[in-house]
Copies of this chain bind each other. A is one copy, B any other.
Amino acid sequence: MSDSTTTLAELRELVRRFVAERDWEQFHTPKNLSMSLAIEAAELMEHFQWIDVAESRRAGDDPAKLAAIRDEIADVLCYTLALANELKLDLSDAVRDKMVKNAAKYPVARSRGRYDPPGES
């Protein structure tokens, strides 16, 4: 798996260069990028809109569908990287710090096999 050898910084650089070559930094404000992220997340959701949650597990069985889903996930990740570039945020540290918070919020003993009901989180 390429993910085993690819660093976050390498992907960030890929996106940075793509944006710079097109002189698109002017459009890549945090406000616009947050919209882009939400738009791509919605396009991803479209693939699961009318099917059951169990059926969505089998989305990967159809190669054409999986390829389309993969493209949408890539779009989401690209905009996440672009936003990190713009705000100069280290994503690895951000994820690690957030996982520590999440571990405190959802202790294994209490959260095992259950999610908190909405509204209580």
CB atoms of B88 and A60 under 8 A apart = yes
- Give the secondary structure class of A's interface: helix
A86 contacts which chain B residues (CB < 8 A)?
Answer: 57
A side interface size, CB within 8 A: 91
A83 contacts which chain B residues (CB < 8 A)?
Answer: 73
CB atoms of A80 and B78 under 8 A apart = no
Which residues of A line the B interface, CB within 8 A?
A: 1-12, 14-15, 18, 21-24, 26-27, 29-32, 34-39, 41-57, 59-60, 65-66, 68-71, 73-78, 80-81, 83-84, 86-99, 101-103, 106, 108, 111-113, 115, 118-119
A41 contacts which chain B residues (CB < 8 A)?
Answer: 34, 37-38, 41-42, 76
